[in-house]
Amino acid sequence: MSALGALPEGLTCRPIMQADWQAVIDCLGRGFPERPRKHWEEALTRMARRRPVGDFPQYGYVLDSAGRIVGVMLTLYFPALGQRDAVRCNLSSWAVDEDFRSYALKLVMTAMRRKEVTYLSITPAPVTLKVTEALRFKRFADGQLAFLPILSSTGKPVQVVEVRPDAPELGLLPQDEQEMLLQHAAMGCRALICIRDGLASPFVFKTRRVLKGLVPCSQVIYCRSHADLSQHAGALGRHLLRKGQLICLVDSNGPVTGLVGRYFAEIGPKYFKGPNPPSPGDLAFTEFVVFGS
């Protein structure tokens, strides 16, 4: 995995084209045999529907050996909320056939050549963790907090609104947050607006199952900050409970004031490299949403 010189004749690293889809899915299937083919088909379909960001590739990069796809890295580029012209990229699904593993790093280095972009690695496999750290990625979340929002104090009255395109409450938010909520709702997330004292706060949750798939919970995909989440947790908890959701998960670096639960260090650590890191609790537009599982 250490070859950084010129690629041998017949081997190229290039952007994924739509004509590559089936070969890309084949390669990802070899690299992630636990994932069904349908998962990758749906992932690429969702990536194709996304609005392109500048001149960045729509899907990612491949290692092409004389017309045969032998390596893949998917890339999800998106504008950083509230940061003008700032771009982030979720590096995901890194798979290279065994005979070409010595060139695997070429995919990463090609994907990371734009220094103005902040790159995220949010589901690093144990086998790639050392590579992630060797490339000087830093953590923006050390673990996860499992909490019961219904147990948080309520304080002042809070109105919780489910986002829909014609919701008048959207007008209380900046344009980029409006679009973020609508796009995440369209991809199957629960997009909510909390209104307190006339001020609106956006939240996005995604249903997932933990403890070997036995327990449903809500993963925090987006909150402005842990403080904002804590302030509205009681109202959010009552709303989510009516939807059958009792437990929530949020990325964090330790216990969070105002949230009642248990912190799990080293569970799901998340990394970044670049000038605009996300805060814990901001997984907007990442693979957790776009890939659907």
Q: What is the pLDDT of residues 124-169, one digit of tens each?
A: 877 777 888 888 999 999 999 999 999 998 778 999 999 999 999 9
Which pLDDT band, with edges at 50, 70 and 90, does 193 fall under? very high
> Residue 21 CB: number of other CB atoms within 10 A?
17
Q: In what order do the strands lie in the sheet with 199-210?
A: 11-15, 60-65, 68-79, 87-96, 117-121, 261-273, 138-147, 247-252, 215-222, 199-210, 190-196, 159-162
Which pLDDT band, with edges at 50, 70 and 90, does 7 fall under? confident
Bridge partner residues of 120 (DSSP): 90, 272
Q: In the CATH hierarchy, which top-level class contains the domain 144-268?
A: alpha beta
Which segments of the chain belong to CATH 3.40.630.30? 11-136
How far is residue 86's CA from residue 276's CA, in Å, rounded to a whole number?
7
The mean per-residue pLDDT over the stretch 87-107 comes to 94
- Tens of pLDDT, residue by residue over 226-267, are 999 999 999 999 999 999 899 999 999 999 999 999 999 999
Of 290, 246, 3, which Cα lies nearest the Cα of 122? 290
- Are 74 and 93 a contacting pair, CB within 8 Å? yes
The mean per-residue pLDDT over the stretch 192-210 comes to 94
Q: What is the pLDDT of residue 209?
A: 80
Q: What is the pLDDT of residue 131?
A: 83
- Are 60 and 74 a contacting pair, CB within 8 Å? yes
Q: Across all residues in the chain, what is the average pLDDT?
A: 93
Which pLDDT band, with edges at 50, 70 and 90, does 6 fall under? confident
User: CATH assignment of 11-136, given 3.40.50.300, 3.40.630.30, 3.90.650.10, 3.40.50.150?
Assistant: 3.40.630.30
Helix (H) or strand (E) holding 174: none
How far is residue 52's CA from residue 153's CA, in Å, rounded to a whole number?
42
Q: First vs last Cα of the chain: how many Å apart? A: 28
Residue tagged 């327990």 (tokens): 215
- Residues with Cβ within 8 Å of residue 192, at least 6 apart in sequence: 160, 161, 162, 163, 202, 203, 204, 205, 236, 239
Quote the percentage of the chain above a pLDDT of 90. 83
pLDDT tops 70 at residue 276: yes
CA neighbours closer than 13 Å in the CB half-sphere of residue 103 = 20
Q: pTM of the predicted model, to two decimals? A: 0.92
Q: What is the pLDDT of residue 1?
A: 47
